[in-house]
Structure 1
Amino acid sequence: MSAITDIPQVRTLLLTDLVDSTALVERLGDTVAATLFRAHDRIVLELQQRWRGRLIDRSDGLLLIFERPIDGLGFALDYVRGLRDLGREHKQTLQARAGLHVGEVLVWENSVDAVRLGAKSLEVEGLAKPLAGRLMALARPGQILLSATAEPLAHRAARELGERGELLVWKSYGRWRFKGVPEAQEIFEVGEPGLAPLRMPSHTPKAWRDLPLWRRPVALAAETLLLAGLALSGWFLTRPQPAIAFTERDWVVVGDLRNLTGDPRLDDSLEQAFRISLEQSRYVNVLSDLKVRETLQRMQKKADAQVDRAAGSEIALRDGARALLLPTVAEVGGRLRVSAEVIDPRTQTTVYAVTADGKGIESALGSIDDVTDQLREKLGEAMQNVQKTSVPLPNVATPSLDALKAFAVARNMASTTGDREQTLGLYRRALQLDPQFALAHADIARFYASNGEVARSLEEWRKALAIPQRLSPQEKLGIELMVMQHDGPDQYFRKADQYLALYPDDYRTIGRLATNTWHQRNDFRAAEALVRRTLVPQYERVALSHDTVGTYLLAQEKYDAALIEYRKARDLGLSAYAEYYARAFDVRGQHAEADKVYMASTSGRDGWKGEAAVVTWLDRGQPADAAKAAQAWASKADADGDALESLRARAAIASLAVLSGEGDASAAVRDLLAALDAKGAEAEAIYPPVAVELRLYAGLLAGSRDDRAGVDAALRRTQDSAVVRDYPTVGQLQQVVLAEQERLAGKPQAAIARLSPLAKRDTALVAVHWALMRAAQASGDKLAAKAQAEWLATHRGRVFVEATTAEVLRFFNIAVSGEAIRNRARTGG
């Protein structure tokens, strides 16, 4: 037997039970029942493959494990529908109960000998398993019940189910008690109208609703009489107090802190501390300082204008915030008092105020924690949640007011002037004063990342994580996500789902998740759905979100819709990131208009340069100019010591030599491979999949010139790499190179069989369609080859936008698409 791993894994468990299966066998007889169950098993097998599930156990029901809740839900929904259709064929009513839960489990493989003796191949144990079983047992026939852990994760991803996901009904049935489970659990149902019961489950001996005492039948009768007697007199004795209709995840604006002490150390430091303390809440959302400054500019005020009662109220109304908070610090009766007013932005009146007093300046941070805790409770957050999620400011930030002052000034400078040396100098000063200031490392990492310095930002993220006791739970999870972007995507996507279940309004994280969905999964529809969640007035980068939506629409060939989004972004003030906006004109051959919008952006003031220039001249049939741009790009990358950009530039040079005849193809590919040997490890330290993708890309170029030895070498160098398994786009690229190997070996039908399933997916690489076209040509299937050539000629948005992990396939895509267009023009169709 194999040993049980001691590391729990978060997985989705689905338990189902076929209703009245024993009675069904009795009615049908063994022979007919066996035929029906064989058909049932075929449905289960097909759904397992479709939804990437593993069957752990089965008898009258099924136990399956999935990586993601949406996959488990997709299986359950299709299983309910499949049972209905199977029952109609056999003139029977077939229904199942289903319970879906996400939790930690221990998973282990049994040995071959144990399986031979009757053991299951895979074992799953853990508390998540009986809870899924309790949900399943509680469900009515045809009902799918979800735990409170599974529901938000599945609900958020429901768009991945297509149109059906928009028609689903989601219902909460409150908190329930399960026998053997110590804590009450909230349960949910999801189903399709007409198929699902969509009714409250019935109590069972092992499950009952967790009703408060006052809602139980005997208490209700007494309370009704009492309330009737008190209602009328209570109306006259009470008057409603000023209040704000604040609900969970509503937004607040934090105004400028008024420092009445005269001590300059408190000016910036306490305002930043107030934000850090309040931002720990999962109940209250705080409008970012960047968004506040951006809105001030839209109000035609200076970005550093004071956010007082009047200005803060207007910001709140413009950006959909429910309240304005105005903090103050003052000396009162020899004590340091920190206070905060809650302002109704509609009337600019104070709804209520909270205060905390302390002795001396060293009490300020503790008083801020006290004030923000009071605010959270008054805004409606449960006190137990406040206590559970609040980490004292000296622990989550710094006990040093001087360090906090340097940090606050650095953060303000980073978001305004962006002066590199001054900003980094102030952050380093904060770290000199407090070497354990983890948030300072995190901010330095963000600053490096915003300037494209990936290796340095990664180093700072890791320094922050090395001081976990000085990070809030949200900050720690967020930094872990930033680091995990450079590891396998499956782990990253799971962690992102868990993070966003806790912090669903972290729009920056949603935007990064969308970008990773684009680069690592080539799934533009899912990426678009994600980034549309950030099109809200509270997000400081909403203009960039519109631009990004435009790019995902461009990749789906929705050119007019893309242009609408790009124009919205410019109307909101976005002045950079114009390359893809230009491509929305290039796809239609409107190159002058493309140049116009690109040159009007901050990124295009000096004309087409670097990668953008290579793409532009290659697409416009000027390969010599593209080759010059690629050489200039490589020279600059080498001078900057940027290994990753140097490798990508050499991939562009090799692409132009092989696909457009600009240079010695053999020498250019050799140069790329030599650079990979020299710099691959350095690039992999920043982003692990780069070297493997570039080797496979060299194999793709070899296949395009019928260089069988080059194809074999690329496959040999990458065959044992975990990157191929872990990164979907790299895995697809390997399949393309394998298909080229089969074509060159005289086995085009094998290549077609390999690629055809991939080509049917929306996430298929452009190279998949190209290789399928080549295989069809080699097999003599002119019709199939023409269909793929037509795809290459018409999917111009995908050709430009497809990025993958190393972002080099664009050169290949543009070359082969251009060739398909020229061939179509020559042949007249």
Structure 2
Amino acid sequence: MNDAHRPNAEGPQLRTLLLTDLCDSTTLVERLGDGPAADLFREHDRLVLVLQQRWRGRLIDRSDGLLLLFERPIDGLGFALDYARGLREMGTARKLDLKARAGLHVGEVLTWRNSDEAVKVGAKPVEVEGLAKPMAGRLMATARPGQILLSAVAEPLAHRAARELGERGQQLLWKSHGRWRFKGVPEPQEIYEVGEPGIAPLRAPPNGPKAWRDVPLWRRPAALAAEIAVLAMIGTGVWFATRPQPAIAFNQRDWVVVGDLRNLTGQGVLDDSLEQAFRISLEQSRYVNVLSDLKARDTLERMQRKPDTVLDRAVASEIALRDGARAVILPTVAEVGGRVRVSAEVIDPHTQTTVYAESADGTGANSTLGSIDTVTAALREKLGEAMKSIERDSEPLPKVATSNLDALRAYALGLKAYASRQYPEALQYFQRAIDIDPKFALAYLGALRVHTGAVDSRMGRPFLDKAVSLRDHLPPRDGLYLDGWVAEFGPHPSAQAPAKWKLLATLYPDYYGGHYNYAWASFLVNDFGEALRFAKAASVPQNAFRGNAVELSARVQLAQEQYASALRSFEQAAKIERYGPNRRHAAALAVMKRFKEADTLLSQLPTGTLLKADVTNEFERISVPVDQGQWDRAREVADRAAEAARKATPLLADEFELIRLSVLSLQKPRSVDAARFEAVLRSSLEGARDVSNRDRNIQLFHALAAAYMTQREGLSAIAARWLPELEKVSADIDDPMARQLLQVVRAGQLRLQGQPEAAVKMLRPLLADGRELFQVRVALRDALLAAGQDEQAALESKWIAGHRGRAYMEAAGDLALQTVNVADTNLAAGAMSRGGQVVANSR
């Protein structure tokens, strides 16, 4: 009584089918008996349920075997591998040889729900039909016990995504078993096997009545004449009737290149605005990845083409092939019969042929945004994205962007200027977009990015607040990006922002802003393993800012004392970005004591000016001379940098004054007027109290560093006077690196008060996870010396002298203690070479 009609029927959908069959299940019942067999099958059912949830499978049918649907081939493969392993473990526990055959195929299927009446009398809740189903069945029936067979459609998709299975995916064994003939399937099919070592048979399946190896003609002379006759009768007409339709084996997270919009309407306002709208609409997908326009233009430059070259079918296809994109999308807008038509073609970059085409018509230019949403949704479905996913991850363009085409055009021009690092021009365009449409949330977010990139958080705050008030007008991905910046500007940025950036990186693994920002947040707290992992994830060719990610990887490698790797990464980043010398590259050379090369590189950098980026070049210009013992040169640069920083921002002014005083103190201990350090402490602490200040954690670190330097100068009274206020603000901000430096200051007070053992007890726990500040080791060494534990102190001196990369790269406090760290490596190394020990600071 399966209803003849098909209620709730859906259209054809591209799905992954997995069919399995538990081998010799009837024999198992006879061998075990009804009771033990029932227990076995109950455990089997629990295993299937767990794996179904883990791999997001949809169970359609079950008896001795299973029929499951999956969105992606890699999910079906993951289920099959875990199922084979689970059966093996169940069998081992019972001294049985439990194995299943499995067939995996990708193809179009029809699904529909049976009526409640039909289900009540025994029908399945969901039915699946289509040519893909018997194909998966033939593969399963052909397989040997324990064997997983894949079709030629499923194998490349699963093989390419095998990295998602982690280390196990790298150890899988893949084998082709050649071309096979299946009963009822007109064309021979190549089949593949995949499995884990020691589990998979990795042997050719046996021939059977429904599947047999496709033997070449020359090995079948008796049938040769007959087959030639058949071929002659069929002729050219059969080729036309059976030729394959164009298609792209598109998989989740594959990339597309969006070509330049062809505007055939004559209305110039549609040029940039609709192209940007098309990107915004398409980028809402978690299934399709859109290569950024900046990355496409960068590849264009590497192709030695002019930056303004039109990305037509041929050029965009070449970019796709170079950057590993699977498809090209060419959008067009035209007037047809008095209506405005938006259309788009999906192009196979290998052949430049059109695979799919979609269009939507509307009345007037303002209809184009709705038409774009319609077209992109249809394209996403054609590329394999599930309709539920499209509905979940799509918002209308007027809601998540703007309904005003002039505002959209200004925003598009702002993005282009930002991508070219023309920040003042970009800010003007974003402001123009805001003036036209005050509810354009993406434009506020663009202005925020300009200000944060220019290290001007106070100017960026109003744009952040406005974007927050309009969060419902942002696409889901950009909403998460905004959440990250809200945490960065919040009262506890170091505690809250990393989780926000990691969430963005997890939900949108190919949106590299999340990876990079999380890597940077990890780097700031000395979590070098996590920082390197996410920086490398952002170092892929599709990332428009790949050079930044490679350079961050280099910094992490240098902090991990991987000098040769770091140097290679710095050189690679310089080639990618083509920005020439870089101060951190110079630091790497200095770490390796290649001072002449480091000095030459630093001499090519701009000198400290009103430009904040130029002022920061002075960090290494001070530290590298200190590393060489060139104190007069270091003081000259420090004086110049402090003067330039006073004209930049309060944060930089306090920081470079602290560095200047530190150089004086290092050269001539106890030569600095205590009031100077106290002035820096007071000014920095004032900035740290401002809850609206995004940099308050950095300014707290500067205040603590100033207190620490007074201790090194033997001025413990100043640190004692300010310590209660420093503790209060530190508890409010809750920054992990500031907490460590606060412990260093507390321990310093104990040591200077004659309690070195208590200082050692306070500092040792900070070494537990390997994220300790460099100066924690210095303070511990000093406390051990004061406590008379010379052998332990010598071990700390060895660590200090051997971590030159960390001394230069530790980013806590915006490099405020870099110069002190570098000086301490040389003091420790010098004392060790003399067979002695460094005298404790201010002892």
Structure 1-normalised TM-score? 0.72
Shift of 1:532: 0.9
Indicate yes or no: 2:675 matched with 1:658: no
Larger deviation: 764-773 or 671-680? Answer: 671-680
One-letter amino acid of the counterpart of residue 513, structure 2:
R
Partner of 2:479: 476
Partner of 2:654: 647
Distance 2:793 2:806 in 1: 19
Distance 1:185 1:757 in 2: 49
Distance 1:176 1:714 in 2: 66
The structure-2 alpha-carbon separation of the partners of 1:389 and 1:760, relative to structure 1 and needing over 3 Å to count, comes to closer
Partner of 1:501: 506
Distance 1:389 1:460 in 2: 26
Partner of 1:629: 637
> Which protein is bigger by CA-based radius of gyration?
2
Matched ranges for 1:589-604 at <5 A: 589-600=593-604
C-alpha contact 1:391 1:472 (8 A) present in aligned 2: yes
Shift of 1:405: 1.6
Distance 1:188 1:725 in 2: 47
Indicate yes or no: 2:831 matched with 1:820: no
Shift of 1:346: 0.6
Partner of 2:712: 704
The structure-2 alpha-carbon separation of the partners of 1:600 and 1:673, relative to structure 1 and needing over 3 Å to count, comes to closer
C-alpha contact 2:688 2:699 (8 A) present in aligned 1: yes
One-letter amino acid of the counterpart of residue 652, structure 1:
I
Shift of 1:618: 2.3
Partner of 2:533: 529
Indicate yes or no: 2:614 matched with 1:614: no
Larger deviation: 610-619 or 305-314? Answer: 610-619
Partner of 2:456: 453
> Could you say what secondary structure the match of 2:344 adopts?
strand
Distance 2:330 2:135 in 1: 45
> Could you say what secondary structure the match of 2:342 adopts?
strand
Larger deviation: 238-247 or 365-374? Answer: 238-247
Q: Pick from 422, 427, 430 the counterpart of residue 430 of structure 2.
A: 427
Partner of 2:360: 356
Q: Residue by residue, what CA displacement relative to the aligned partner does 1:641-699 show, whole Å, maximum 9, x if unpaired?
A: x1111121122123223332285241321221242355554697122312322232123
Q: Residue by residue, what CA displacement relative to the aligned partner does 1:762-812 show, whole Å, maximum 9, x if unpaired?
A: 211111111111111111111111111111112100000001144312132
Q: Pick from 287, 293, 299 the counterpart of residue 289 of structure 1.
A: 293
Partner of 2:801: 793
C-alpha contact 1:249 1:283 (8 A) present in aligned 2: yes
The structure-2 alpha-carbon separation of the partners of 1:738 and 1:677, relative to structure 1 and needing over 3 Å to count, comes to closer
The structure-2 alpha-carbon separation of the partners of 1:423 and 1:530, relative to structure 1 and needing over 3 Å to count, comes to closer
Q: Pick from 269, 283, 286 the counterpart of residue 279 of structure 1.
A: 283
C-alpha contact 1:578 1:603 (8 A) present in aligned 2: no
C-alpha contact 1:637 1:646 (8 A) present in aligned 2: yes
Indicate yes or no: 2:518 matched with 1:517: no
Distance 2:677 2:185 in 1: 88
The structure-2 alpha-carbon separation of the partners of 1:431 and 1:230, relative to structure 1 and needing over 3 Å to count, comes to farther
Distance 1:696 1:439 in 2: 38
> Could you say what secondary structure the match of 2:509 adopts?
coil
Shift of 1:227: 8.2
> Could you say what secondary structure the match of 1:352 adopts?
strand
Distance 1:218 1:257 in 2: 43
One-letter amino acid of the counterpart of residue 471, structure 1:
L
Indicate yes or no: 2:392 matched with 1:384: no
Indicate yes or no: 2:743 matched with 1:759: no
Distance 1:286 1:220 in 2: 33
Partner of 2:101: none
> Could you say what secondary structure the match of 1:355 adopts?
strand
Partner of 1:128: none
Shift of 1:311: 0.7
Shift of 1:627: 2.9
Distance 2:413 2:313 in 1: 23
One-letter amino acid of the counterpart of residue 802, structure 2:
T
One-letter amino acid of the counterpart of residue 445, structure 1:
L
One-letter amino acid of the counterpart of residue 277, structure 2:
A
One-letter amino acid of the counterpart of residue 514, structure 1:
A
Larger deviation: 717-726 or 302-311? Answer: 717-726
The structure-2 alpha-carbon separation of the partners of 1:144 and 1:230, relative to structure 1 and needing over 3 Å to count, comes to closer
Q: Residue by residue, what CA displacement relative to the aligned partner does 1:222-262 show, whole Å, maximum 9, x if unpaired?
A: 98699889944799986532111110110000000000011
Indicate yes or no: 2:346 matched with 1:338: no
Q: Percent identity?
A: 37
Partner of 2:587: 583
Q: Pick from 401, 407, 429 the counterpart of residue 411 of structure 2.
A: 407
Indicate yes or no: 2:467 matched with 1:464: yes
Distance 2:475 2:257 in 1: 21
Partner of 1:181: none
One-letter amino acid of the counterpart of residue 645, structure 1:
L
Partner of 2:422: 418
Distance 1:435 1:313 in 2: 38
Partner of 2:562: 558
The structure-2 alpha-carbon separation of the partners of 1:486 and 1:468, relative to structure 1 and needing over 3 Å to count, comes to closer
One-letter amino acid of the counterpart of residue 729, structure 2:
S
Shift of 1:514: 0.7
Distance 1:226 1:321 in 2: 29
Distance 1:482 1:276 in 2: 20
Distance 1:753 1:172 in 2: 49
Shift of 1:331: 0.5
Distance 2:366 2:89 in 1: 56
C-alpha contact 2:678 2:706 (8 A) present in aligned 1: no
The structure-2 alpha-carbon separation of the partners of 1:772 and 1:370, relative to structure 1 and needing over 3 Å to count, comes to same
C-alpha contact 1:395 1:470 (8 A) present in aligned 2: yes
Aligned Cα root-mean-square deviation (Å): 3.9
The structure-2 alpha-carbon separation of the partners of 1:417 and 1:511, relative to structure 1 and needing over 3 Å to count, comes to closer
Larger deviation: 330-339 or 756-765? Answer: 756-765
Distance 2:662 2:46 in 1: 58
The structure-2 alpha-carbon separation of the partners of 1:828 and 1:679, relative to structure 1 and needing over 3 Å to count, comes to closer
Q: Residue by residue, what CA displacement relative to the aligned partner does 1:370-411 show, whole Å, maximum 9, x if unpaired?
A: 111111111111111111211111111111111112222222
Indicate yes or no: 2:257 matched with 1:253: yes
The structure-2 alpha-carbon separation of the partners of 1:317 and 1:380, relative to structure 1 and needing over 3 Å to count, comes to same
Indicate yes or no: 2:742 matched with 1:734: yes
Partner of 2:157: none
Shift of 1:491: 2.2
C-alpha contact 2:684 2:700 (8 A) present in aligned 1: no
The structure-2 alpha-carbon separation of the partners of 1:644 and 1:278, relative to structure 1 and needing over 3 Å to count, comes to same
Aligned residues: 651
Partner of 1:743: 751
One-letter amino acid of the counterpart of residue 510, structure 1:
H
Matched ranges for 1:34-45 at <5 A: none
Larger deviation: 600-609 or 324-333? Answer: 600-609
C-alpha contact 1:755 1:768 (8 A) present in aligned 2: yes
Distance 2:126 2:347 in 1: 43
Shift of 1:355: 0.4
Distance 1:548 1:652 in 2: 24
Larger deviation: 405-414 or 344-353? Answer: 405-414
C-alpha contact 2:781 2:797 (8 A) present in aligned 1: yes
One-letter amino acid of the counterpart of residue 518, structure 2:
L
